[in-house]
Amino acid sequence: MKTGFIGGGNMAEALIKGLTANGFTNILISEPVEIRCSYLKEHYPVTTMSDNITILKSSDTIIIAIKPQNMPALKEQIQGIDCAGKTVISIVAGVKLAALQSMFPSAYIVRVMPNTPALVLEAMSVLTSDTSVPKEILTKAENIFSAIGQVVVLSEDMMDAVTAVSGSGPAFFALFTKCVIEAGAALGLPEDISNTLAIQTMKGTAKLLSSAQKPSELIKMVASPGGTTEAGLKVFEALGLKKTVSEALQSAALRSAELGK
Ligand SMILES: NC(=O)c1ccc[n+]([C@@H]2O[C@H](COP(=O)([O-])OP(=O)(O)OC[C@H]3O[C@@H](n4cnc5c(N)ncnc54)[C@H](OP(=O)(O)O)[C@@H]3O)[C@@H](O)[C@H]2O)c1
């Protein structure tokens, strides 16, 4: 099986890192920047080229990993190429299944929304496809994205909500962490120490939460009545953290819907 990438940027590299570490071979990459091709060839067992048509013709699975603004040029370039029976997986933000189907009319299409932690192989990737896509094709796509983290399959109408939670999420969690670091420094901690304390606490909390402990249980476990945590939690509640988070995510989902039009 040959897996071809159109675009060899950051996200493609994260996937290539995960795939090659998980025993995938026969990876082809089409990338216009020569120095980027040399870098990829130097670091991973892959073949690089600058020719998208060859990638399309010689791969069974094609992963589109370019920016949305480069899609019209790609569409023009590949017009008329027969992709019958091939699997086309797109990670291009905001480009819907219908648009992908019109670009690759006879291919099986899977749309994926990964997120930035893919760069450290801790991605949350959400897959969506048309009901006509056979189960084994979807399983193949799930296997590819499992190489860089967790995978969930949802219907396309969920993608705006997905964008708000896991797509934009890393920036939201990073913002909260930044606030904690700055607040720690304001309390007198050296900035680098505050940084270490906040990040390790976030990492440890994420591990606890992924070991099936519910957020509400963890809060109860840490906050004893009349204690320090409860004092802090009361301020979050009084100042409306829940409403702020809810409105921020609604705004992100709304923007995702606007951009998808
Ligand atoms: N980074 C993330 O965390 C993240 C998360 C979710 C989804 N995504 C989506 O993933 C996609 C890729 O993101 P990225 O961060 O990997 O972008 P990137 O680093 O800019 O990589 C895209 C690469 O594709 C090349 N390219 C452009 N047009 C091409 C064409 N027609 N044929 C072949 N290669 C072409 C670009 O070259 P030039 O530099 O010369 O244009 C660039 O090297 C985007 O749609 C993005 O929205 C990214």
CATH number at residue 118: 3.40.50.720
Q: Is residue 182 part of a domain?
A: yes
Q: Which segments of 163-240 does DSSP mark as H helices, in order? A: 169-186, 191-210, 215-222, 228-238
Instruction: Give the count of domains, the chain.
Output: 2
63 in contact with ligand 1, CB cutoff 6 A: no
158 in contact with ligand 1, CB cutoff 6 A: no
90 in contact with ligand 1, CB cutoff 6 A: no
Instruction: Convert the pLDDT of each residue in 60-117 to its tens digit.
Output: 999 999 999 999 999 999 998 999 999 999 999 889 999 999 999 999 999 999 999 9
Whether residue 185 is found in the same domain as residue 226: yes
Q: Which residue has the tokens 């708000």?
A: 164
- Residue pair 39/29 in contact by the 8 Å Cβ criterion: no
Distance of alpha carbon 180 from the chain centroid: 25
Statement: residue 150 has pLDDT above 90? yes
- Of the residues 103, 122, 155, which one is the last residue of a structural domain? 155
- Residue pair 88/112 in contact by the 8 Å Cβ criterion: no
Statement: residue 49 has pLDDT above 90? yes
125 in contact with ligand 1, CB cutoff 6 A: no
Q: Is residue 174 part of a domain?
A: yes
Q: How far apart are CA 5 and CA 88, in angstroms?
A: 10
Domain hosting residue 46, numbered range: 3-155
Give pTM, 2 decimals.
0.92
pLDDT of residue 94: 87
253 in contact with ligand 1, CB cutoff 6 A: no
Whether residue 124 is found in the same domain as residue 215: no
Whether residue 137 is found in the same domain as residue 204: no
Whether residue 147 is found in the same domain as residue 172: no
Nearest-CA residue for atom 3 of ligand 1: 116
**Ligand 1 centre and the CA of 67: distance in Å?**
4
Could you tell which of 5, 11, 71 is best to mutate to test the pocket of ligand 1, judged by most ligand atoms within 8 Å of the CB? 11
Q: Is residue 160 part of a domain?
A: no
194 in contact with ligand 1, CB cutoff 6 A: no
Instruction: Convert the pLDDT of each residue in 124-148 to its tens digit.
Output: 999 999 999 999 999 999 999 999 9
What percent of the chain clears pLDDT 90, i.e. is strictly above it? 93
Q: Is residue 162 part of a domain?
A: no
